[in-house]
Structure 1
Amino acid sequence: MVDFSKRLNKPKRESVLDPVEIYAGLDRKADKGELRKVQAHVLSEWHKRLRTQRDVIVKLHTGQGKTLIGLLLLQSKLNEKGGRVAYLCPTIQLIEQTYNQALDFGFKVCKPEQGEPLPAEFHDGKAILITSVQKLFNGRTQFKLHHQSLALSALVMDDSHACVDSIRDAVSLRVPRSVYDSKGKVTGTHPIYEKLFNLFSGALREQGEGTFQEIEAKKANALLAVPYWAWKERVLEVTRTIAGHDEDDLVKFVWPIIKDRLAECLCVISGAGLEITPYLAPLEDFGSFWKAETRIFMSATVTDDSFLIKGLRLSPETITKPLTYPKESWSGEKMILIPSLIDDQLDRGAIVKEFGEPNQRRTVGVAALVPSFKGTKDWEKYGATIARKDTIEDALNALRTAGRRAAAVVFVNRYDGIDLPDDSCRLLIFDGMPYGESLIDQYLQASRGDSESSSIRLARSIEQGLGRSVRGEKDFSVVLVVGTDLVDFVRQRCTRAYLSDQTRQQIEIGLETAEAATEEIKAGKSPMTALRELIQQCIGRDQGWKDFYVERMDQLKAEEPKPKGLKVFESELEAETEYLSGNVDRAIKTLQDLLDTTKMEESERGFYLQEMARYQDRSSKAKSNEYQKAAHKKNRFLFKPVEGFTVEKLAPAAGKRAANIAVWVSAFESFEQLKLAVELILTNLSFGVAAETFEKSLQKLGAALGYTAELPDRQWKAGPDNLWCLQQNDYLLIECKSEVLTDRAEIYKEESGQMNNACGWFHRNYPGANLTRLLVIPTNKLGHGAAFNESVGIVRGTELSRLVRNVRAFFQEFSKVDLHDLNDAKIQEFLVIHKLTNDEIKSGYQKDVYAGSVR
């Protein structure tokens, strides 16, 4: 072989470190042109200012070539120091895509093969390893754990926020209740679930008898967290139980991580399974990440990086000083529309039907994002393709292939890691709030749903979801936002503030566009026709729309990122770290300082008091219980304390009912906002809606109608689903069975028993008070063995629909008046007209129980 280097007239060149020069020397494919300005800027800035800095966040718009930037930074470090370097993808599906892209650019790369050791080229520092974050973060990682971990010179973590979620999944033990055979038939209960459920049944009963009964009855959405004191007392038995199954596929990849820190884990048990997760992900176990010499974290401009303080243990300085491109304030084109604001007829049901039905003439992809498989039923009914774990690749290929786009594709809880550029998705339907599916997420949403950290998490998921269909600066897509809870989040200014400047501006453009469409509807155009024409103006590249969009988006100014919640996440991390180090007093002081210096909702203060109680439990049970009592008093959705627990009676609202309604109504800036809030409540008051959602909406309805209302079963862990105080010493007790099928023929014995128990709880805590009892269920016929101890009115679908109709008509009256100059007498008149007086509420929306046999 000829050694051409000996024939050079100039000395042999040294390894190139400047990533811009590295790119110039790559043997890339002919279609891979020069670096974009943004890429050249970021690479040069890193090389000049930041190459010696250990942690750097690269924060750019979607589609600006972050993958190529990450590869070049790794190559620069490889040239400088040798050693191992790795590029971590957030999902396994993205490995192949990134690997092929790297080859096209001329990089020397390798990837792990199933069942094989990590490639020799990686170990020898001769190639960049392309792998997934899951490959590194698991209890049997080939990168090894603790002091045996492989040393890395550098790593790039692509889509860092998605990686945080993947890491948490990797350190969480999830055990289903049921065991299935190869044909999908239930063969029994998983032994870990069975033993832990029995072990903690007493503690769970104390936290909520009604919910415990639902868990016992295998209701999937019924869940309770095991109180920290009960968990710690029985952690040895928990350890023995799980250790006996440490070779099970469910356990073996998690057990090495959690086996020695089970005491500091949260356990949530539902009717369908259980989940055990460390309060703080033990990143230090993964030395390849924890001790890597250089770490580059990729982030989109639309996401708030403050969450990475706790999720990846990054410093506030790293978060607040990302590497950006300051000359571009926005990228890509999104027509974000809220159909229900264009016209009432364009509700979720109408959108699902219109776009869920296959269309053989469809030339561009239509995709939908839903939070759970439960939300796919109507999509599937109309003929949409549901992307499941084993079919997701085929579903993606259908969207990417011309001629296969007739059916809409529905992705479940896939708000990141799915790229749908160009014609693969020109219409994205964002269907419902992106709540997490994990039991821990559900528990936290229930216990601290109004917190700033929860709002930041939700905003992050919304931003990620909105970005699935626009993957570059020239890409474009229409996004339809449906589902009352999601619409409320993006519509209300207080929550919209958690979204990025770019997304907020796109929403404003959408609202302005919706107003124009509404005018056309008033002129005689059908609502669906108006919506379809708007969609076509974007997809069909109407020049007027394009100019309008650019003009509005150019009003944005490029600004430095302003992460929210920095202090909150920093304090949470500091407190948990101090506690795990044995410094209980310092951990408690850290959270107390946060409470003393930060404005937050009372319910969120309760959450931090519970954290302080958990810390104090290590050194003083009595002091811990005092903190827990204070926590529960501020937030009834937290753990009920061991001692000193008393039910506080629900008192009537101050002043007259009409005046209370006036206060509620006047809190809205406009009738449109009022209407949206009312619809958010009423849409969830129908059979088929999840129990928790239905019950919370019913409580909100009570407040909207001028009453005080609470959720005793969730707040006091006993009692009815809903309790309204109509006036002094006059109450309405409501038990809800919203998940019962509408064709149910009879009321079961268990359901009448729950009503009897709820009434007994009321009489113990409200002796002598007047009570009206209602059961919301599709049938008024008592089944075998079912009986009520007291008179109970039945609210079936007919009665519920009439109530919803009358409430909607009542609040529609406020479209004609000044919301901030309301007349109590006029409000009372509206109540009478729409049959919503106290007497009507108590007796006008119920059916008598039919006790005749239907068997």
Structure 2
Amino acid sequence: MTFFVFRMCPKLTCRSIWKSEDNLINFDLFKGGGGDGTIIEPRKIFTTLTRNPKFKRPSDEQAEVLDGWFGRRGEHDLTIKMNTGSGKTLVGLLALKSSLNEGFRPAVYITPDKYLTSQVLAEAAALGISTTDSENDMAFMRGDSILVTNIRKIVNGRSVFGVKEKKIPLEVVVIDDAHACLQSIEEQFTIEAKSDSQLYKDLWNLFSESLRQYNAIEHSRLLSGDPAVLCELPYWIWKDRSADVASLLIKNRGLDDLQFKLDLLIDVIDLCQCAVTAKRIEIAPRCIPIDVIPSLSAARRKIFMTATLANDGILVTHFRADASAISKPIKPRGAGDMGVRMIITPQELNRDIKFDDLKAFCAEVAKSRNVVVIVPSTNQANQWKDVAAAVLNKDNIHDGVEKLKAGHLGLAVLINKYDGVDLPGTACEMLVLDGVPSYSSLIARVNAAALEGTTSSNIELVQRIEQGMGRGVRSSEDRCVVLLWGSGLSKAINFHETAKFFTEITKAQLKVARQLAKQIILNRMADLGPILNYSFVGDADWIRISKEAIVQAPDTNYFYMEEYVGGQRAAFDFARIRQYNRSVEAMQVAINAAPEDRVKGYLKQLLAEYYNYIDRVESQKILLSAVALNNRVIKPMAGIEYKRLSTPDNQFFDAQKFMARFPDGNDLVLWMNALLDDLEWDPLATKRFEAAVHSIGQFVGFAAQRPEIETGKGPDNLWGVGAHRYFVIECKSGATIAEYISKADCNQLLGSVSWFGQNYPPANSALPIMIHPKFKFGVEASPANDFRIIDAVKLLELRDALKSLGINLSTGNKYRSRDDVAGALNAADMIPGRFEGRFTRPFTR
């Protein structure tokens, strides 16, 4: 009897009967005819991959971008812009594979975080592209595999890729979700010292006396623990102590926050900003010295991939990118394709809808569908806690997102996470943006305040809103309801100064949203249920209308970069090599290129900082001229000459003149609602509160001024109300946990009254007013007898009166008539004598 023994080869199918050992084929010996890595065109590479059947071929958009990149691949820095969900990952992986085949190796695909790293690895496996998550993998070093890792693994003070040296050289890099990576890089280059740390105490002791001499009031408020005070340390104080700061940081380098950051910053300490509050101190450079990670900065090919990076200038200031290369982004022809969003702003449909109505409605929807709420702060998140299944921050967001993707979770709240999160399909069927995005970084808040209202500021706001709105639509097949809550968001999508910066697809969807809104009668939030169901069930007509709007959106290259950023970056780099004269020259070029006075003023402050190395006296003169253009920059050490505020000759004339800026009554209402949103008791929004008080004065026809902001001295607000009468106003909107008005707050108002007496002749009179949640002074305080208080109750009365006034004047566009304005202001008690009687109260002890 004859026996046959069959041995199966793993690579052969179950139908094979031959022994593979007898004739092994070495496929590596094939040359010239393919299989040797000589194919470099990305689309041809795609056809050779052993891939999952779901990848039939690149989409038209992907093909266009791949061809565009391949034709320009010799340029050092390139940006690829594709709509959310249009397949950037495939494009990035094929571009890297093409580069490897061309001989550029090693190659790395960089994501914002570990969570997205795992997603890229999974997609690469499905495509049949070899990847690894280990920088020690020899296949990566040889160029046989692509390393997929997150930005923090590369950019940190103990980077395995090398700090100030190349431990692992990189030839070609793809930086995916570039806007999210940029945020991580900023965090890595920011040192934070909390008030309970020894580092904070050491830094405070180092600067305290100098700060007291510069601004005694701000110094006193910081000492008292006032949460509303955010102080940028004047650059001359910082630079004079920078060597001592470096010593303190080195002494404390064992702290968790310093271990991975100190070596990134130690060489540019004198070129940093420093922001101080009673709770923490932050230190960060003006521009990112990314070349301290030379493996990244010196890569021969860098590809930045992004969906909605509206302001490309940040690639220059953070990645030191070539401005001329990134000014020509690679993108598909046309506006592209994306999923369907049903955008609704409830407060525009019914002004009486309250936050509690929104919350209850979202909780009801969340019983059967995943609802995601994005909020700007922990304080705002706390208002959702009682109905939330999960509150997600940077520490637990990945687990929370996985639960949303896995099935029904309910209502999840994301804290200040507007990018870097994918919520496809049923992971997010309704998305709520609750309020305008804000900044958690102190230094970002300082710089944003200085540039508030400028084009770059508006673009950054729109960018973050659009990023947030895109979380629930991650492919062209997705659909999601997007609810925008808060008048600040209503203002952003309606006012021309901001709305014009949205992408064309978003503009098209907003246009559909306005057409939809005309057919909705919203008496209560529940009335939205049947409307939202068109999105939830994928109604064919709704999908058709939405898709038609998307495909008809006009083409645009979505490129914006301020003309001054190149000079700003060059000035920083020259200062690093102590070429201060050249820094000054570069900053002057930047200033000349700036189109707006506020921006010129901000840049002049930077010019003054560099001039401080050359001539300290001239530096102060330059800073004085900066203040004349932008009163939000640092004030010179000698102070600013104060210009007295005149009282109005005709309040009603001035009020109507101010209101003439509104194109129609609806714009007036949107503006008023946004202003009222800023009149909130919030320690993180005190400057917005003060600005709102200033705007109220202007709106009702009083002369209004912010002396403390404009000159560094005096009250938060000063109103000239008529006949040489003034209101001296101190705002304490951040005193949310106070049980009474403190001695420090009392002394501040006393000091402002004294300041008024020093700057105004005796014929003028001032009524001291404090805006504070409480009306009772502590036992140590010594208020003057004429002090008046706008407490929580009175502020609510004032808000209600202003809301009614706005509605009254908007109806029939009454605000265009001076007589109607006069009648409305009289009826609302917004005139001298009656205003303080109705909206302020006496204090108690």
Pairwise TM-score range, normalised by the shorter structure: over 0.9
Deviation digits for residues 276-323 of structure 1, max 9, x if unmatched?
111111112211112212221112157343432323222233223222
- What's the counterpart of residue 261 of structure 1? 268
Equivalent of residue 329 in structure 1, options 336, 343, 346: 336
User: When the two structures are aligned, how many residues end up with a matched partner?
Assistant: 820
**Unpaired runs of at least 5, structure 1:** 179-189
2:540 maps to amino acid:
Q
Match of 1:66 in 2: 88
Structure 1 residue 44, shift from structure 2 partner: 3.2
Picking from 173, 180, 183, the partner of 1:155 is 173
**CA deviation string 1:535-577 (max 9, x = no partner):** 2222222333223323333432223x14233313223223333
Residue matched to 2:595:
599
**Contact conserved, 2:535 with 2:542, CA < 8 A, in 1?**
yes
CA contact (8 A) 1:210 1:717 kept: no
Structure 1: how far apart are the matches of 2:287 and 2:376?
25
The amino acid of 1:249's aligned partner reads: D
2:692 maps to what in 1? Answer: 697
Deviations 1:645-700 (A, max 9, x none): 332222335x5211111112111111011001111112332445743232221111
Q: 2:828 aligns with which of 812, 825, 834?
A: 834
Q: Aligned residue for 2:670?
A: 676
CA distance in 1, matches of 2:28, 2:734: 81
Partner of 2:583: 587
Partner of 1:25: 48
The answer to whether the 8 Å contact 2:191/2:258 transfers is yes
Structure-2 separation of matches of 1:270 and 1:9: 67
AA at the equivalent of 2:172? A
CA distance 1:836–1:383, shift in 2 (3 Å):
same
Q: Report what 1:393 is aligned to.
A: 398
Q: CA deviation at 1:360?
A: 6.7
Contact kept? 1:306, 1:563, Cα under 8 Å: no
Shift in Å at residue 619 of structure 1? 0.3
In the alignment, the residues of structure 2 paired with residue 174 and residue 6 of structure 1 have an alpha-carbon distance, to the nearest angstrom, of 55
Match in the other structure for 2:464: 461
Which residue in 1 is equivalent to 2:378?
373
Tell me if the contact between 2:343 and 2:482 (Cα under 8 Å) persists in the aligned partners.
yes
Q: Partner of 1:111 in structure 2?
A: 133
Q: Determine which of 478, 481, 484 is the counterpart of 1:481.
A: 484
C-alpha deviation, 1:595, in angstroms = 4.0
Contact 1:109 / 1:127 at 8 angstroms: preserved in 2? yes
Q: Which amino acid aligns with 2:249?
A: I
Residue of structure 2 in register with 1:4 after alignment: 25
Q: Which amino acid aligns with 2:260?
A: F
Of 66, 83, 91 in structure 2, the residue corresponding to residue 43 of structure 1 is: 66
Cα offset for 1:586?
4.1
Code of the residue aligned with 1:379 in structure 2: it is W
2:437 is paired with a residue of what secondary structure? coil
1:142-166 deviation digits (Å, cap 9, x = unpaired):
0012343422121111111222222
Distance 2:432 2:495 in 1: 20
Give the drift of 1:39: 2.1
Alpha-carbon distance in 2 for matches of 1:643, 1:304: 36
**Aligned match for 1:197, one of 196, 200, 204:** 204
The alpha carbon displacement at 1:139 in A equals 1.4
Partner deviation per Cα, 1:316-362 (whole Å, 9 max, x = no partner)? 3322322221155342211122111111123444323421x366741
Counterpart-to-counterpart distance in 1, 2:778 and 2:335? 67
In structure 1, the residue corresponding to 2:564 is in which secondary structure? helix
Whole-Å Cα distance in 1 between the matches of residues 351 and 688 of structure 2?
22
In structure 2, what is the equivalent of residue 186 of structure 1?
none
1:641 to 636, 643, 662: 636
Cα offset for 1:702? 0.8
Partner of 1:184: none
SS at match of 1:516: coil
CA RMSD of aligned residues (A): 2.4
C-alpha contact 1:83 1:124 (8 A) present in aligned 2: yes
> What is the identity, as a one-letter code, of the residue corresponding to 1:388?
N
Q: Secondary structure at 1:4's aligned position in 2?
A: coil
Query: How far apart, in 1, do the equivalents of 2:652 and 2:486 lie?
Result: 30
Q: CA offsets per residue over residues 1-36 of structure 1, 9 Å max, x none?
A: 544248999966332222222222222233333322
CA contact (8 A) 1:435 1:441 kept: no
Tell me the distance in 1 between the aligned counterparts of 2:707 and 2:343: 39
TM value normalised by structure 1? 0.91
Question: Superposed, which structure 2 residues align to 1:47-58 within 5 Å?
Answer: 47=70, 49-58=71-80
CA distance in 2, matches of 1:506, 1:678: 25
- Map residues 281-680 of structure 1 onto 2, 5 A cutoff: 281-300=288-307, 303-355=310-362, 357=363, 361-362=367-368, 364-402=369-407, 404-406=408-410, 408-517=411-520, 520-521=521-522, 526-559=523-556, 561-596=557-592, 598-600=594-596, 602-643=597-638, 645-653=640-648, 655-680=649-674
Closer/same/farther in 2, CA of residues 146 and 748 from structure 1, 3 Å limit: closer
Hey, what's the Cα distance between the residues in 2 that align with 1:9 and 1:173?
54
Contact 2:718–2:729 (CA<8 Å) still a contact in 1?
Answer: yes
Alignment of 1:804-815 (within 5 A): 804-815=799-810
Alpha-carbon distance change, 85 to 350 in structure 1, aligned in 2, over 3 angstroms:
same
* 1-structure distance, mates of 2:31, 2:177: 43
AA at the equivalent of 1:672: N
| Identity fraction in percent | 25
Shift in CA distance, 691/381, structure 1 to aligned 2, threshold 3 Å: farther
d(CA) in 2 for partners of 1:59 and 1:698? Answer: 41
Amino acid of the residue matched to residue 54 of structure 2? D
CA distance in 2, matches of 1:8, 1:91: 40
- Deviation of residue 208 (structure 1)? 4.2
Separation (CA, whole Å) in 1 of partners of 2:577 and 2:689: 43
Q: Is the 8 A contact 2:388 2:412 kept in 1?
A: no
Letter in 2 for 1:405: L
Contact 1:420 1:470 in 2 (8 A): yes
**In structure 1, how many angstroms separate the alpha carbons of the residues matched to 2:770 and 2:174?**
56
Q: Which residue of 2 aligns with 1:762?
A: 756
User: Aligned pair in 2 of structure 1 residues 92, 533: CA closer, same or farther (>3 Å)?
Assistant: same
Give distance in 1, aligned partners of 2:61 and 2:676. 48
1:149 and 1:499, CA in 2 relative to 1: closer, same or farther beyond 3 A?
A: farther
Aligned equivalent of 1:93, options 115, 118, 123: 115
Secondary structure in 2 aligned to 1:336?
Answer: strand
Give the TM-score of the pair, scaled to structure 2. Answer: 0.92
Residue 105 of structure 2 corresponds to: 83
CA displacement, residues 464-511 of structure 1 (integer Å, 9 cap, x when unaligned): 111111111111111111122232222211111222122222222222
Name 1:716's counterpart in structure 2: 711
Q: Which runs of 5+ in 2 are unaligned?
A: 1-20
What is the CA-CA distance between 1:581 and the residue it aligns to?
4.3
Please state how far the C-alpha of 1:105 moved relative to its aligned partner. 1.6
Q: 2:771 aligns with which of 767, 770, 776?
A: 776
Cα distance, 1:241 vs. partner?
A: 0.8
The aligned amino acid for 2:491 is D
State the SS of the aligned residue for 1:288.
helix
Deviations along 1:778-836, one digit per CA (max 9) or x if unpaired, are: 3333332222134111222332222222222223222344468x332332222222211
Residue 187 of structure 1: aligned partner:
none
Name the CA shift for 1:294/1:741 in 2 (closer, same or farther; >3 Å).
closer
Which whole-Å CA distance do the structure 2 matches of 1:835 and 1:580 have between them? 58
Secondary structure in structure 2 of the residue aligned to 1:676? helix
* Shift in CA distance, 146/715, structure 1 to aligned 2, threshold 3 Å: same
Deviation at 1:621, TM superposition (A): 0.6
The AA in structure 2 aligned to 1:832 is: N
1:134 equivalent in alignment to 2:137: no
